[in-house]
Structure 1
Amino acid sequence: MTEQSVAWAELHDRIEREVGVILFTVLAFTRGGSRMERIYSSHPVEYPVGGWKDVATEVSPEWIAISRDSASTFLAATPADLRSIFADSALIESLGVGSILNVPLQRADGTNWGTVNMCGAEGTYTPERVALAERLIDELAPPAPSTTDSEGASS
């Protein structure tokens, strides 16, 4: 297991214990930000490391504007919200997920290189839990991978 994998697993464990999560993944923006590649997953069968999503076709422009292009945390609080954002919402919901919290991962210059994605039951991500998740990610997330493409994420 790599040092980064260990760090993500430790963050996952803390989020699971202190915030609550069913599915926990980390996505890195690659290919100039046109693709999101999975670098950590709590569910490697359904969401394997190395899997990817095409930004143009598999997520809504609203999610991209928040999660890739700003420093804002994204919350889809209900199953209906999930369906309007993610092309794979049926698979997400089949795991018992009813809400998603996505926290951007930033480089020192303030640009985003990826997101930490926490999926829980509907109602899991209260304002207090969102703040706790953001704090834990800020404290425990490893830095951007050293091997980078034009967007600063893993190649």
Structure 2
Amino acid sequence: MTARPDDPTGSLLATLAEAGQPERLYKALEEATRSLVGHKLFTLLYVDGQDVARVYSSRPAEYPISGRKTMGETPWGELVLKRRQPFLGRDRQGIRWAFFDHVLIESMGLGSVINIPVLYDGQAIGTMNLLDVEHHYADADVAPVARLAPLLIPAFLEARAAARATDRNQIR
């Protein structure tokens, strides 16, 4: 498969075959999304039941890769995780509607967001998240990024399985 400049899927598929997964794919997706629509923060979260875990962050000082945490009921969770729809927050009002940590986000100079659910077997198993300055993103920016989300399915399933195995071992 040959990738068009505006569709990096082919080169990303080739990345999946390379050693060093999933980190190599995560970095390639960070660069591909930067080229497609831009971002100042790129994070990846997998979902396991009511828990979420960040597995990648372009700015680990502010948004570190961390263990799992339980996510309570939120309007954002209803939209992105339950209804499996992307979220486009164009401005700080959208950031404040979606995220409890909006103060940190705004302190980083970020004011717009695209959250893409990663879907598998009828469920959202994670999200790909891009943030930039206020009014950076438009409706047309969502589709090119959403086309890349399925590439994360193997990595998110593996991360979830590893976490479940760790949980089982701790119970013994």
Contact preservation (8 Å) 1:101, 1:117: yes
Equivalent residue in structure 2 for 1:122, among 128, 134, 138? 134
In structure 1, the gaps of 5 or more residues are none
Aligned to 1:141: 152
Output the CA distance in 2 between the equivalents of 1:78 and 1:53. 27
Equivalent residue in structure 1 for 2:114, among 67, 87, 101? 101
Matched, 1:91 2:104: yes
Please state how far the C-alpha of 1:145 moved relative to its aligned partner: 2.7
Contact preservation (8 Å) 1:28, 1:114: yes
CA RMSD of aligned residues (A): 2.1
Contact preservation (8 Å) 2:46, 2:159: no
Larger Rg: 2
- SS for the counterpart of 1:67 is helix
**TM alignment of 1:5-154, pairs within 5 A:** 5-30=23-48, 32=49, 34-56=50-72, 61-107=74-120, 109-138=121-150, 140-143=151-154, 144-146=156-158, 148=160, 154=163
Aligned to 2:14: none
Instruction: Give TM-score scaled by structure 2 length.
Output: 0.75
Contact preservation (8 Å) 2:33, 2:145: yes
Contact preservation (8 Å) 1:24, 1:42: yes
Please state how far the C-alpha of 1:154 moved relative to its aligned partner: 4.4
Please state how far the C-alpha of 1:135 moved relative to its aligned partner: 1.9
Cα-to-partner distance string for 1:58-116 (whole Å, 9 max, x where unaligned):
xx621011111122101121102211221111111111111111000111x12111100
Is the helix fraction higher in 1 or 2?
2
In structure 2, the gaps of 5 or more residues are 1-18, 165-172
Contact preservation (8 Å) 2:55, 2:66: yes
Output the CA distance in 1 between the equivalents of 2:159 and 2:58. 23
Instruction: Give TM-score scaled by structure 1 length.
Output: 0.83
- Count of residue pairs brought into register by the alignment: 145
Alignment CA distance shift 1:154-1:118 (3 Å)? farther
